[in-house]
């Protein structure tokens, strides 16, 4: 199996956290294809986004689908939660993180440049993020983990989503939507000590540093030059 992934990509980080937590090592490698760096990821996968999981039978896009595939392929290690209701709660929290937090923050990145931004668009999207956090506040557990008393896929989606809330949203000129004294804030404080969370947070911070200091751009330019100098087959 190969996962097409990037350090800074929160949707990829979500799948990597699951892979680390499940201890999947056999025949699994990570790669960022040069086509992604060239803005041509759709030559590999029609949706044109990472992560994508390559398995013997073909490609699987969409982080949530990959996550379910991994749970089904390795059922003895699955991170789906315990009782039927707990399993539903895991999916609800994962969807809140995915659709209402990460997706809206991603969309708001299109308005990152203050010179060209349409403030009303940004206000709308960040308003939706705050609404998502409000919903999460009602659904999240009060213990160490998002649902129940062990790590589940809900944590794997929430960690990169809350990282975006706390580090990306302020870069867009808004306060972090994670407010002190809430259950979400308490969870966020605690989960950052989890070893698998630590690992992907380090990777995302490394990716952010590489983006900000120009290393990412340099590596992409070198990879593109290498790909273009290869004789076409």
CA pair distance 198, 193, nearest whole angstrom: 6
Cα–Cα dist 16/117, whole Å: 33
- Residue 61: CB minimum distance to ligand GSH, A: 7
CB of 195 to ligand GSH, least distance (A): 23
Kindly state the smallest distance separating residue 50's Cβ from ligand GSH, in Å. Answer: 4
Q: Does residue number 64 form part of the binding site for ligand GSH (CB under 6 A)?
A: yes
How far, in whole angstroms, is CA 219 from its chain's centroid? 22
Residue of 22, 45, 62, 165 interacting with ligand GSH (CB under 6 A): 62
Nearer to ligand GSH, 148 or 204 (CB): 204
Site for ligand GSH in 69-108 (CB under 6 A): 106
* CA of residue 136 relative to chain centroid, distance: 17
Task: Pick the binder of ligand GSH from 18, 45, 63, 128 (CB under 6 A).
Answer: 63
**Residue closer to ligand GSH (CB basis): 172 or 185:** 172
Give the number of other Cβ atoms within 10 Å of residue 5's Cβ: 23
In the complex with ligand GSH, which residue's Cβ is closer, 185 or 224? 224
The footprint of ligand GSH on residues 2-61 (CB under 6 A) is: 9-11, 48-51
Tell me the backbone φ, ψ of residue 175, rounded to 5 degrees: -70, 155
Q: How far is the CB of 194 from ligand GSH (least distance, A)?
A: 21
Total binding residues for ligand GSH by CB under 6 A? 11
The set of long-range contacts for 137-140, using a CB threshold of 8 Å and a minimum separation of 24, is 137/182, 137/183, 137/184, 139/89, 139/92, 139/93, 139/96, 140/93, 140/183, 140/184, 140/187
CB atoms < 10 A from the CB of 208, how many? 17
63 vs 152, which CB is nearer to ligand GSH?
Answer: 63
Contact predicate 89/140, CB 8 Å:
no
Q: CB neighbours (10 Å) of residue 215?
A: 13
Residue among 12 and 194 whose Cβ is closer to ligand GSH: 12
C-alpha 88/C-alpha 231 separation (Å) is: 51
In the complex with ligand GSH, which residue's Cβ is closer, 63 or 128? 63
Instruction: Name the residue nearer to ligand GSH (CB basis): 50 or 146.
Output: 50
Q: Which residue has the tokens 């809140």?
A: 96
Q: How far is the CB of 219 from ligand GSH (least distance, A)?
A: 16
Q: How far is the CB of 96 from ligand GSH (least distance, A)?
A: 14
Q: Which residues bind ligand GSH (CB under 6 A)?
A: 9-11, 48-51, 62-64, 106
């Amino acid at each position: 199996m190969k996962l097409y992934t990037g350090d800074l990509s929160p949707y990829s980080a979500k799948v990597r956290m699951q892979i680390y937590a499940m201890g999947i090592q056999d025949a699994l490698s990570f790669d960022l294809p040069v086509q992604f760096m060239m803005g041509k990821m759709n030559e590999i996968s029609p949706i044109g986004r990472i992560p994508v999981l390559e398995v013997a039978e073909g490609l699987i896009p969409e982080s949530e689908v990959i996550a379910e595939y991994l749970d089904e392929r390795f059922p003895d290690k699955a991170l789906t939660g315990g009782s039927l209701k707990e399993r539903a709660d895991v999916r609800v929290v994962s969807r809140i993180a995915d659709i209402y937090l990460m997706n809206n923050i991603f969309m708001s990145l299109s308005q990152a440049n203050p010179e060209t931004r349409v403030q009303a668009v940004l206000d709308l999207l960040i308003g939706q993020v705050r609404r998502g956090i409000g919903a999460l506040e009602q659904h999240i557990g009060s213990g160490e983990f998002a649902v129940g008393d062990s790590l589940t896929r809900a944590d794997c989606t929430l960690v990169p989503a809350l990282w975006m809330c706390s580090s990306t949203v302020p870069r867009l000129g808004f306060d972090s939507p994670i407010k002190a004294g809430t259950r979400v804030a308490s969870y966020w404080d605690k989960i950052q000590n989890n070893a698998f969370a630590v690992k992907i947070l380090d990777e995302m911070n490394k990716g952010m540093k590489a983006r900000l200091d120009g290393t990412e751009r340099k590596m992409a330019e070198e990879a593109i030059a290498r790909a273009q100098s290869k004789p076409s087959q």
